[in-house]
Amino acid sequence: MFLDSVHKIASAVRAAVAPPLIRTRSKRVARTATTVAGATAVLLAVAACSGGSPSASSTPTHGGTLVYASGDAEPTCLDPHVGGNYPQALLASQYIEELVTMGSDRKAQPALATSWTTSSDGRTWTFHLREGVAFSDGTPFDAAAVVRNIEHVQDPATASSTGYLALGAITTATATDAHTVTLRLSRPDSALLESLSQPWVGIESPTALARSQATNCASPVGTGPFMVTKWVHGDHVSLTRNTHFTPLGNSSTKPRLSGITWRFLPDSTSRYAALKSGQVDVIDNAQPDQLHAASSTGSIRDLDAPRPGASNRLELNSGHGVFRDEQVRKAFIAGAQIDPGIRSLFLGTAKRSYSVLSSVEPLAVSDKRLFGSSPATAKRLLDADGWKVGSDGVRTKDGQRLTVTFPVSTNQSIPAERSLFQQIQASEKAVGFDVRIEQLDLSSWYAALAANHYDVVSAPYTKVGPDVLRILYDSASITPAPSGYFANLAQLSEPQLDAELEQAARTTDPTTRSTLYAEAQHRILTSRTVLPLYDQQNQFLYRSSVHGITTTSVSTPDFGTAWIDH
């Protein structure tokens, strides 16, 4: 159960040396072109994928199977309602669509819903749905399907975490008529549209949901451009063109690819070699040297799609072990040498972060002053707190060693990042910490978190908008979701912070919301339970023969308009 509930992917890094070809784009802006700006985005995306020069390759072709190679852990369930991690979102973006999407301006735009209204008290939302849309199994898309999906996400038996936490304010969903859904909330939710744009709450066929969970995990059914036809565990998932696909908005573009073969290749060297040799067309989790070699005109190109939500950071467990002591947390942060590792290991493809939020979030607050490296300060803090240096260099106090357990998922952390962790480990040793890095497979890593067997952990989290702060740092998030996952890994419990996050979630006034989130971020950063590293980003490398890739609101690639030169 817990294995399915993670929200994280190993953070890739931004290409700063080679100019990014595509930045984060709205799935529906790129596909439907319902506005002039949306149409422009489509043209820019096509030009970028074509190398920016007019040629025969700028004319879309049809047919062919795109081969995608992922370095992420293979999902244990292809239904993103179950658990809700990023590897699921990568796949689900090809076959599941959402009620709304987020535009490049970070505002909600129509997708499966055409419009919506809100009551004056913010507790009732009415969504009007598209007509004439069907799921890939032929089931009509209607209001009853939306109601069934919300119930499925909220059902404890589904073992959802990301979706469950995102839709926590919804108390009832009612099909007012065939194409109108009314949602009633326990409180106003300023992040509801942001939440509804995510694949973890995407809309699936109610006919398919009526099957057993095991069956639906193997072959979920959506309204997207592709459908799951085969899953060979440990090897690949086969996706084929959805013949029932209805382009949304004013678009008439149906899938150009015949299908996608989604391979699982955990070794980064093998993935890149397969890309260079033409065995695969697109890869994720590229290494810094591979990103450095990509160019806008070469045979291998880079799609830069930074993720929304939280930054990539270390969480210090304030509810367990030595980090219950704020002075020890301050010393650990002062003792960590991060910048030299980022410079040497990431080859200019990552930029140091001083924020708990991703830099793509407009309301992100950054405070460099709190995270300067100073071994002398770290030693002074520990001395004053009674931690004495032992014969092996490790400090002790009242018979307790200054030990920090640091489980690292080898499935979610690229080699450069793991090397950065080892450099941090060495810098902490110099001030008296015994940092024990435990490199674990994904299942063992989740189990360690569930058992509270960690003192520090790398915990990126993807969610559209600043409401991710409520998910990650409200004290209520220390209590596990039905899946068994709890998102507040810092175990931060501050009533004033809870109140600020609750008020921010309720308000619809942009100025008040911005002020509250700024105050909340300051409180989180000064709690010394967070050590920001760098932006949580995605880098995808693809062959120059591939064109028309766009990205979704959560920065997953969307191949609905893609094509391959024949």
Q: Which of 137, 149, 20, 9 is nearest to 84 (CA)?
A: 9
In this structure, what are the phi and psi dihedrals at residue 147, rounded to the nearest 5 degrees? -60, -45
CATH class of 2-307+538-564: alpha beta
Q: Given this model, what pLDDT does residue 369 score?
A: 96
pLDDT-derived band at 18, boundaries 50, 70, 90: very low
Q: Which of 56, 55, 543, 15 is nearest to 299 (CA)?
A: 543
In angstroms, the CA 21 to CA 11 distance is 19
Q: Given this model, what pLDDT does residue 57 score?
A: 54
Question: Which residues does 376 contact at the CB level (< 8 Å), separation at least 6?
Answer: none
Structure-token pair, residue 456: 């520090």
**474 C-beta neighbours (distance < 10 Å), count:** 24
Q: Given this model, what pLDDT does residue 410 score?
A: 86
**61 C-beta neighbours (distance < 10 Å), count:** 14
Q: What is the mean pLDDT of residues 215-223?
A: 98
Q: Given this model, what pLDDT does residue 437 score?
A: 98
Q: Given this model, what pLDDT does residue 25 score?
A: 31
pTM above 0.75, yes or no: yes
In angstroms, the CA 267 to CA 270 distance is 5
Q: Given this model, what pLDDT does residue 39 score?
A: 32
Q: Given this model, what pLDDT does residue 51 score?
A: 34
Two domains, one topology: 2-307+538-564 and 312-534: no
Q: Given this model, what pLDDT does residue 566 score?
A: 81
In tens, the pLDDT along 339-361 reads: 999 999 999 889 999 999 999 99
Q: Is-contact 551 25, C-beta < 8 A? A: yes
Q: Flag whether pLDDT at 13 surpasses 80.
A: no
Question: Which residues does 551 contact at the CB level (< 8 Å), separation at least 6?
Answer: 22, 24, 25, 27, 30, 303, 305, 557, 558
Q: Which of 373, 63, 81, 112 is nearest to 241 (CA)?
A: 63
pLDDT-derived band at 31, boundaries 50, 70, 90: very low
Stated as kind and residue range, the H or E segment containing 65 is: strand 65-70
In tens, the pLDDT along 48-86 reads: 333 333 333 578 999 999 999 999 889 999 999 999 999
Structure-token pair, residue 486: 């709890």
Q: Is-contact 106 195, C-beta < 8 A? A: no
Q: Given this model, what pLDDT does residue 32 score?
A: 34
Q: Given this model, what pLDDT does residue 556 score?
A: 96
Counting every residue written for the chain, the total comes to 566
Which residue bears the tokens 């987020």? 102
Q: Flag whether pLDDT at 180 surpasses 80.
A: yes
Q: Given this model, what pLDDT does residue 103 score?
A: 85
Q: What number of CA atoms fall less than 13 Å from residue 471's CA on the CB side?
A: 29
Question: Which residues does 413 contact at the CB level (< 8 Å), separation at least 6?
Answer: 10, 11, 421, 458
Q: Given this model, what pLDDT does residue 202 score?
A: 98
Q: Where are the domains of the chain?
A: 2-307+538-564, 312-534
Q: Given this model, what pLDDT does residue 5 score?
A: 36
Q: Is-contact 483 164, C-beta < 8 A? A: yes
Q: Given this model, what pLDDT does residue 426 score?
A: 98
According to CATH, the superfamily of the domain at 312-534 is Dipeptide-binding Protein; Domain 3 (3.10.105.10)
Q: What is the mean pLDDT of the chain?
A: 88
